[in-house]
DNA sequence: TTGTATGCGTTATCAA
DNA sequence: TTGATAACGCATACAA
């Protein structure tokens, strides 16, 4: 089915069909109806290829993220796709990280290779959710590749702004939530507080550790460096971090520990259990990034709800408006919300189900 | 940059450039090299639109799945993308289910709407991972839509074969693993075994419950219908199912329970805890579908590793070969593997970390 | 309001 | 081995 055939069957020219296809006002109601009927009857949809030739748009956007099995990225993607679809954009998803998964014959590509691929796909815009962009020292070659990409299509990045990068950034407030956890722990009477998880050299990690230290210093509380153990973002990393913490500061363990996210918290609690320690009895734990299921672990996890769903929406909205030529920067204030459950040891919450 | 400009700069015709682009043998080595150099220099990539006009291919495949935040689908997708990319195909991902996520202004589409969207995107093939296709009674309209889709592009479905549906199917062995769990529990001396989780009316659920009942009957063991509680596939569903089980058969509780997957197991264990019961002490639990992190929960989960990674690979391979016109049906034997940890109560495993 | 004609960037057919 | 050209399906400028 082509526009030609529709035109013939409708007894009009292709331009008229094209007009009804594109909601041009200058078509007589009678013809419009007739044509629309034929279109529906034959279930005709215009060729994206032919349209692309003319408009240079695909109505596709590319999403680059490190790991879709990570609940944080999965829920971000969900929100992104939902909003994109509403605006007639489909999403080409590129997952760049495979290290956790023993894929055979795995692809060895870096993000810059993905930029190239995505560009060849003629997407109308690119959304980058984390990855190399989150490093403290982003390689110059990466920024260069990013700028080169940006010159071809709009690029929106969910992450901290980087000097010399021309892309649009959606920044998260990484510090506020940590501070509220610290205050919560202090209020519960904790004096020695630790921090675990997060890959070193990644901005999310360092921003949160900075906020952690700073909020304690403001309150004139000591920070024991041994109580800060970085690793990565998954359960296995929470496990190893907690083991290391227990090993290196056996003489003066913290009474409370902040985990960078729920998976790390779960791994840490498991490690405590393996060492015969109880959470929250021996060490209380709270996490900075809530995922689903935090209400079902043992103990239930006290977490920050970062309201990440806004993030995803903001990012696509920004991207789509950039695709449409708008320069306007959107803004949103999302305040993390502390969900108090069991793992922090706050009294009277033993049975609560938020 | 167009093929025209490359041709001019190279001092040849567009046809010759097109030939080197498509690795045609009939180009003199000298010219080929020269042209390639210009291509690289200008970082030229041919327009997918123009190519699509001629070839009617986009080198994109569409993936339809219900919930990417579900670890089962996420890891399946990962494997699919990896293999697709290796074959120069990018993946358009469509997540059809949003119910678990309170997305504002959420899209209300059924899968057939997604079929339409995906077709408009001119993908070269469609991969369907679960969803309505898994229902016991697939609506005729759905099968009709599926066949209509199949008439336009190859469609591969990961799921049980359905009469009257012309798509290609990749079937999983849903029963084998359940049987091995039953045998394991019997070997541990359990007499009263239950089964929880899974949406009723879904083939995965009923296939596993059937296998559960059958393997017990073969061994002349009783099946207490009250010990079988369906719900859904997430932690909250494991929680509610276990509560119901405890409530309805307080006089004769099972000593072991099979959960349909790890999330359900986690929810169930949480429910037990809330009722003052211990796992595996009071009720042992094993799950039919292992996700990551099962080694970090409390207690560690005894699970089946379904080796789902093969599934994803098989599915794309099948799709790509169908796109290339092959009729050949691929086949693979993936045997579930029982990973024994703590929740089943098998002796001496208290500290094991697989 | 409607139709005609052109161009978008590529591949394929054919002729040289 | 190479080049000229038609064709792919659509949007749009222009003419009517």
Q: Which CA-bearing residue is nearest the C1' of C2?
A: A16
In terms of C-beta density within 10 A (0-12 exposed, 13-18 middle, 19 or more buried), how is residue A266 classed?
buried
pLDDT of chain A along its 354 residues, tens only? 999 999 999 999 999 999 999 999 999 999 999 999 999 999 999 999 999 999 999 999 999 999 999 999 999 999 999 999 999 999 999 999 876 665 555 667 888 999 999 999 999 999 999 999 999 999 999 999 999 999 999 999 999 899 999 999 998 888 899 999 999 999 999 999 999 999 999 999 999 999 999 999 999 998 999 999 999 999 999 999 999 999 999 999 999 999 999 999 999 999 999 999 999 999 999 999 999 889 999 999 999 999 888 899 999 999 999 999 888 888 777 789 999 999 999 865 444 333
Residue B175: how many other CB atoms lie within 10 Å: 16
Instruction: List phi, psi (to 5°) of A152.
Output: -95, -45
CB of B37 within 7 Å of some strand D atom: no
- SS3 (DSSP) at A127: strand
CB of A19 within 7 Å of some strand D atom: yes
Measured CA to CA in angstroms, residue B168 lies from B74, B112, B126, B231 at distances of: 22, 18, 11, 29
**Which residues 54-83 of B interface with strand D at a CB distance below 7 A?**
54
What are the pLDDT digits (tens) for B59-114?
999 999 999 999 999 999 999 999 999 999 999 999 998 766 655 556 678 889 99
Nearest C-alpha of chain A: how many angstroms from B103? Answer: 7
Q: Which residues of A touch B350 (CB under 8 A)?
A: none
Residue A23: how many other CB atoms lie within 10 Å: 8
What are the pLDDT digits (tens) for B33-49?
999 999 999 999 999 99
**Dist. CA B235–CA A293, nearest whole Å:** 6
Window 5-24 of B, Cβ < 8 Å to A: none
Domains of chain B: 3-55 (1.10.260.40), 60-172+308-334 (3.40.50.2300), 175-305 (3.40.50.2300)
Decide if pLDDT at B353 tops 70: no
Which of B241, B178, B238 has its CA nearest to residue B206? B178
User: Under an 8 A CB cutoff, do A85 and B107 touch?
Assistant: yes
Residue of B69, B121, B232, B308 to mutate for A, most A C-beta atoms under 10 A: B69
- Could you give the percent of chain B with pLDDT greater than 90? 86
Does any CB of chain A come closer than 8 Å to the CB of residue B74? yes
Nucleotide nearest to A56 (CA to C1'): C8
Looking at residue B347, what is its pLDDT? Answer: 65
What are the pLDDT digits (tens) for B1-30?
999 999 999 999 999 999 999 999 999 999
The overall average pLDDT reported for chain B is 92
Under DSSP, the state recorded for A221 is -
Task: Quote the tokens at residue A250.
Answer: 């056996």
Q: Which residues of B touch A298 (CB under 8 A)?
A: 269-270, 273, 297-298
Q: CB–CB of B288/B259 below 8 Å?
A: yes
Looking at residue A300, what is its pLDDT? Answer: 97
Measured CA to CA in angstroms, residue A73 lies from A330, B40, B266 at distances of: 21, 35, 22
Q: How far is the CA of A57 from the C1' of D4 (A)?
A: 30
Q: Residue B174's pLDDT band (boundaries 50, 70, 90)?
A: confident
Cis status, amide bond into A273, omega within 30 of 0: no
Rounded CA Rg of chain B: 26
Alpha helices in chain A (DSSP H): 3-10, 14-21, 29-42, 48-55, 71-86, 111-120, 140-152, 175-187, 203-218, 235-248, 262-274, 308-323
Decide if pLDDT at B352 tops 60: no
Looking at residue B295, what is its pLDDT? Answer: 94
Window 203-232 of A, Cβ < 8 Å to B: none
**Dist. CA A247–CA B22, nearest whole Å:** 60
Q: How far is the CA of B41 from the C1' of D3 (A)?
A: 24
Q: CA B123, B125, B130, B134 torsion: positive or negative?
A: positive
CB of A222 within 7 Å of some strand D atom: no
CB of A48 within 7 Å of some strand D atom: no
Rounded CA Rg of chain A: 26
Q: CB–CB of A80/A91 below 8 Å?
A: yes
Which of B283, B68, B128, B115 has its CA nearest to residue B196? B283
Helix (H) or strand (E) holding B305: strand B302-305
Q: How far is the CA of B22 from the C1' of D5 (A)?
A: 19
**Dist. CA B296–CA A266, nearest whole Å:** 7
Task: Quote the tokens at residue B310.
Answer: 């093969």
Bases along strand D below 7 A from a protein CB:
1-5, 7-13
Looking at residue A332, what is its pLDDT? Answer: 73
Residues in chain B, overall count: 354
Q: CB–CB of A299/A270 below 8 Å?
A: no
Residue A125: how many other CB atoms lie within 10 Å: 25
Q: Which residues of A touch B102 (CB under 8 A)?
A: 309
Strands (E), B82-240: 90-95, 125-129, 155-158, 168-170, 193-196, 228-229
What are the pLDDT digits (tens) for B289-348?
999 889 999 999 999 999 888 899 999 999 999 999 888 887 777 789 999 999 999 865
A303-322: buried (b, 16+ CB within 10 Å) or exposed (e) per residue?
A: bbbbebbbbbbbbbbbbbbb
Nearest to A78 among B48, B69, B293 (CB): B69
Which of A313, A312, A297 has its CA nearest to residue A354? A297
Does any CB of chain A come closer than 8 Å to the CB of residue B117? yes
Q: Which residue has the tokens 């045997």?
A: B335
Say what the pTM is: 0.94
For A67, the closest chain B residue by CA position comes to B78
Does any CB of chain B come closer than 8 Å to the CB of residue A280? no
């Amino acid at each position: 089915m082509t526009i030609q055939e529709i035109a013939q069957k409708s007894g009009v020219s292709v331009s008229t069909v094209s007009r009804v296809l594109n909601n041009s006002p200058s078509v007589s109601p009678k013809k419009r109806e007739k044509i629309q009927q034929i279109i529906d009857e034959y279930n005709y949809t215009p060729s994206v290829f032919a349209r692309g030739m003319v408009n240079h748009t695909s109505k596709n956007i590319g999403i680059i993220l490190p790991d879709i099995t990570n609940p944080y990225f999965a829920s971000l993607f969900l929100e992104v796709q939902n909003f994109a679809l509403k605006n007639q954009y489909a999403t080409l998803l590129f997952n760049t990280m495979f290290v956790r998964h023993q894929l055979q014959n795995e692809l060895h590509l870096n993000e810059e290779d993905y930029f190239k691929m995505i560009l060849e796909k003629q997407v109308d815009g690119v959304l980058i959710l984390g990855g190399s962009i989150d490093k403290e020292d982003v390689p110059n070659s990466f920024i260069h590749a990013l700028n080169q990409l940006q010159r071809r299509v709009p690029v929106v990045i969910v992450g901290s702004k980087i000097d010399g990068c021309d892309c649009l950034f959606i920044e998260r407030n990484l510090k506020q939530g940590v501070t509220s956890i610290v205050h919560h722990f202090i209020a519960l009477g904790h004096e020695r507080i630790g921090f675990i998880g997060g890959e070193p050299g990644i901005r999310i990690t360092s921003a949160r550790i900075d906020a952690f230290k700073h909020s304690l210093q403001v309150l004139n509380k000591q920070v024991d460096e041994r109580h800060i153990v970085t690793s990565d973002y998954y359960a296995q990393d929470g496990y190893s971090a907690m083991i290391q913490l227990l090993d290196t500061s056996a003489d003066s363990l913290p009474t409370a520990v902040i985990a960078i996210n729920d998976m790390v918290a779960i791994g840490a609690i498991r490690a405590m259990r393996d060492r015969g320690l109880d959470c929250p009895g021996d060490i209380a734990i709270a996490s900075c990034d809530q995922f689903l299921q935090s209400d079902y672990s043992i103990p239930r996890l006290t977490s920050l709800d970062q309201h990440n769903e806004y993030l995803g929406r903001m990012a696509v909205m920004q991207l789509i408006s950039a695709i449409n030529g708008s320069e306007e920067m959107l803004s949103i204030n999302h305040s993390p919300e502390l969900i108090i459950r069991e793992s922090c040891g706050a009294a009277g919450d033993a049975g609560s189900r938020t």
